Amino acid sequence: MIGTAKAAAGVALRAAPGLMVVYVLVMIVEAIAPIAVAWLTKLVVDSLARQGSAAELSTLAVGLAAAGILVTVLPQLMQYLNSEMGRLFTAQTTTQLFSATLRFAGLRRFEDPNFHDQLRLAKNSLSTGQEVVTGSLGVVSAVITLAGMVGSLLTVSPVLTGIVLATGVPALLAQLRLSHRRAAMIWDIGPAERRQMFYGDLLTTIAAAKEIRLFNSGRFLRGRMMTELRTSNAARRRMDIKELSVEGLLTLLGAVVAGGGLIWAVISAGSGALSIGDVSLLIAAIGAVQAALNGLIIGIAALHQDLLMFGHYVAVTSAEPDLPIPAEPAPLPRLRHGIQLTDVWFRYSEDHPWILRGLNLFIPAAASVAIVGLNGAGKSTLVKLLCRFYDPQHGSITWDGVDIRDVHPDDLRHRISGVFQDHMAYDMSAADNVSIGFVPAREDETRIRGAAHEAGIDDKLSSLPRGYDTLLTRTFFSEDDKDAPDTGVMLSGGQWQRTALARAMFRGHRDLVILDEPSAGLDPEAEADVHTRTRRRRHGATSLLISHRLNTVRDADLIIVLEDGAIREAGKHDALMAVRGPYARLFNLQATGYRGPEEAVAL
Ligand SMILES: Nc1ncnc2c1ncn2[C@@H]1O[C@H](COP(=O)(O)OP(=O)(O)OP(=O)(O)O)[C@@H](O)[C@H]1O
């Protein structure tokens, strides 16, 4: 908890150091003002009762009026300062949180449901840290007011002071317990809330809209969303009822004490034991002590809960890297000899089966290597290991003899380009969709067009309503298009595929080019075209092509057939056809599909 509070203070001081100083000063004045009002009121009343001088009365009245003005004005100033600090604080935490997620060089964290719950709570807590800071200061302020009021009350009745303070102890304990429970409840309902959001998003995204309408599954999905909502609502309701009953009892206790004190004061004033000024001070002090005590208790409880919530932000931003990054990374020169995988064993987690089982493979520099195999054979997994999104559990991958675990992942990825099987379609402009492949060159329009031309998509992108500035989405519209928000366009699947290819080409010549199903969604003509283009591009670079369409891999320098996480056979097309093994069987199966059985090569 102390670490979390320190982290929040650190963020606040970095985000708005000057504002913090002003805030603390205003807060101190705000804390003292009610004490001044109570004392000045007593002095005015006493002066009136003993007919004090006009000068004394007017000085006291001016002081009382000034203190009264401060009491009314300062909360508004504090509100503004609070909002401004909140904005600056949230800007700081937002940068830090998303920088932290980028520090995870691998993918494992993003597949962990616990991490997702923590990340969601961390995102929800971006402004909570500021509440930790202002809440802590608020507690200090409440303590100052309370001390002043307790001092005042003590001068009138030590017994009553003791009773008023004693009612605060159970209230504080109850509130702390409630805040702990509330934080635990928020963690418990996390998975339900995340599923609810998932169903909600599903019902409103274009990606799912077609299937939902065709399969008429919308009501079913909405039902599931509402079930999740009801689950989290029930938990929140139980918590609210608990809070209501505890707080109701505590308020009643406070009211009884205040009423009792008032009756005692009136009777005492009647018998002459208290002055009229004492009664006014007593009434103000009981109310103020109770309010300050209440504020303090609620403030401490809220602070406690905010600290628990902000703890999720601190946990994410201070999480260890998911992949060990060497303190002194080895340099990674251009690939000259090749990439060697030695006895590589990999599974996604201990609960999952082995995907790669002792894989040995040499990818020679400047060679085009094709990987084929049935669905789930581990082809894309192999690609992910080459990019070091995961580390294998056993074995090693070396780049010209350098273990890729000894290299900084950024340096490794700098040498790689490619298209993933599940490539992205960014809801951004055509230019952004291409140039995001190499951000440092994103202003280079000639390079963008060149890459699109190489991928055979330049004609399409240039003819869009705003050329390369056209948004490839109907979800947003740009500032320029606010009068004609329909300008955004949707590309076809094959056009998206070519755009993804253009993105890979925009990176320029990299040592390793990975093409995981780059032509799966293309028509035969486009497929042939893309392969001619990628072949041209791959020329001289080391390339890894994964494809189920075996006609596209037949000219590779080396074809690998992956089966059950190991290499079943490897060689050139002709040699593999000659041995009539699994590759030849797969190839003939496809050829038969195209030509009919009578045209197939007999096995
Ligand atoms: N992130 C993941 N977590 C757990 N298991 C995974 C994950 N990704 C893939 N798998 C599993 O690993 C196995 C290999 O998947 P992979 O995507 O490497 O196969 P593939 O050979 O590329 O298949 P395809 O030809 O269908 O693209 C599959 O059984 C899959 O279920």
Ligand 1 and 270: CB distance under 6 A: no
**What spacing in Å lies between the alpha carbon of 111 and ligand 1's midpoint?**
13
Most confident of 41-50, 408-417, 486-495: 408-417
Ligand 1 and 421: CB distance under 6 A: yes
Q: How far apart are CA 161 and CA 291, in angstroms?
A: 14
Most confident of 197-211, 225-239, 471-485: 225-239
- Kindly give the interhelix angle for 2-15 and 276-317, rounded to the nearest 10 degrees: 90
pLDDT value at residue 602: 47
Looking at the DSSP assignment, which residues form a beta bridge with residue 399? Answer: 339, 402
Query: Once rounded to an integer, what is the mean pLDDT over residues 333-345?
Result: 94
First to last CA, the chain: 71
The answer to whether residue 601 scores a pLDDT higher than 90 is: no
> Cα–Cα–Cα angle for 526, 530, 531, nearest 5°?
120
| Neighbouring C-beta atoms of residue 102, cutoff 10 Å | 8
Nearest CA to ligand 1 atom 28: 376
Tell which wins on pLDDT, 153 or 489: 489
Tell which wins on pLDDT, 171 or 115: 115
**What spacing in Å lies between the alpha carbon of 378 and ligand 1's midpoint?**
6
The answer to whether residue 201 scores a pLDDT higher than 70 is: yes
Burial class for 549, CB neighbours closer than 10 Å (0-12, 13-18, 19+) = middle
> Cα–Cα–Cα angle for 415, 111, 393, nearest 5°?
65
- Kindly give the interhelix angle for 2-15 and 17-49, rounded to the nearest 10 degrees: 100
Ligand 1 atom at shortest distance from the alpha carbon of 374: 25
Tell which wins on pLDDT, 523 or 300: 300
The best mutation among 346, 348, 568, 586 to test binding of ligand 1, ranked by most ligand atoms within 8 Å of the C-beta, falls on 348
pLDDT value at residue 538: 60
Which secondary-structure segment (H or E) carries 274? none
Q: How far apart are CA 355 and CA 344, in angstroms?
A: 10
In which band, very low, low, confident or very high, does the pLDDT at 229 lie, cut at 50, 70 and 90? very high
The answer to whether residue 554 scores a pLDDT higher than 70 is: yes
**What spacing in Å lies between the alpha carbon of 382 and ligand 1's midpoint?**
10
The best mutation among 115, 349, 355 to test binding of ligand 1, ranked by most ligand atoms within 8 Å of the C-beta, falls on 355
Nearest CA to ligand 1 atom 31: 376
The answer to whether residue 515 scores a pLDDT higher than 80 is: yes
Residue that the structure tokens 């709570």 belong to: 121
pLDDT value at residue 548: 84
Query: Once rounded to an integer, what is the mean pLDDT over residues 204-223?
Result: 88
The answer to whether residue 344 scores a pLDDT higher than 80 is: yes
Query: Once rounded to an integer, what is the mean pLDDT over residues 479-506?
Result: 81
Query: Once rounded to an integer, what is the mean pLDDT over residues 503-531?
Result: 81
pLDDT above 90 coverage of the chain, percent: 36
The best mutation among 109, 379, 547 to test binding of ligand 1, ranked by most ligand atoms within 8 Å of the C-beta, falls on 379
Strands 394-399 and 402-403, how do they pair?
antiparallel
Most confident of 79-88, 202-211, 524-533, 589-598: 79-88
In which band, very low, low, confident or very high, does the pLDDT at 480 lie, cut at 50, 70 and 90? low
Q: How much is the ipTM here?
A: 0.97
pLDDT value at residue 449: 96
The answer to whether residue 399 scores a pLDDT higher than 50 is: yes
The answer to whether residue 48 scores a pLDDT higher than 80 is: yes
- Give the lowest-confidence range in 21-35, 40-54, 526-540: 526-540
Tell which wins on pLDDT, 524 or 297: 297
Nearest CA to ligand 1 atom 29: 376
In which band, very low, low, confident or very high, does the pLDDT at 603 lie, cut at 50, 70 and 90? very low
Q: How far apart are CA 13 and CA 89, in angstroms?
A: 9
Query: Once rounded to an integer, what is the mean pLDDT over residues 155-180?
Result: 75
User: Nearest to residue 316, comparing CAs of 29, 114, 456, 463?
Assistant: 114
The answer to whether residue 398 scores a pLDDT higher than 90 is: yes
Ligand 1 and 111: CB distance under 6 A: yes
Q: How far apart are CA 251 and CA 144, in angstroms?
A: 22
Rounded to the nearest integer, the mean pLDDT of the chain is 86
Query: Once rounded to an integer, what is the mean pLDDT over residues 342-350?
Result: 94
Q: How far, rounded to the nearest angstrom, does the alpha carbon of residue 550 sit from its chain's CA centroid?
A: 41
The answer to whether residue 513 scores a pLDDT higher than 60 is: yes
Ligand 1 and 110: CB distance under 6 A: no
Ligand 1 and 426: CB distance under 6 A: no
Looking at the DSSP assignment, which residues form a beta bridge with residue 356? Answer: 346
The answer to whether residue 539 scores a pLDDT higher than 90 is: no
In which band, very low, low, confident or very high, does the pLDDT at 478 lie, cut at 50, 70 and 90? low
pLDDT value at residue 598: 58
Ligand 1 atom at shortest distance from the alpha carbon of 421: 27
- What is residue 517's three-state secondary structure? coil
**What spacing in Å lies between the alpha carbon of 602 and ligand 1's midpoint?**
32
The answer to whether residue 145 scores a pLDDT higher than 50 is: yes
In which band, very low, low, confident or very high, does the pLDDT at 436 lie, cut at 50, 70 and 90? very high
Ligand 1 atom at shortest distance from the alpha carbon of 383: 18
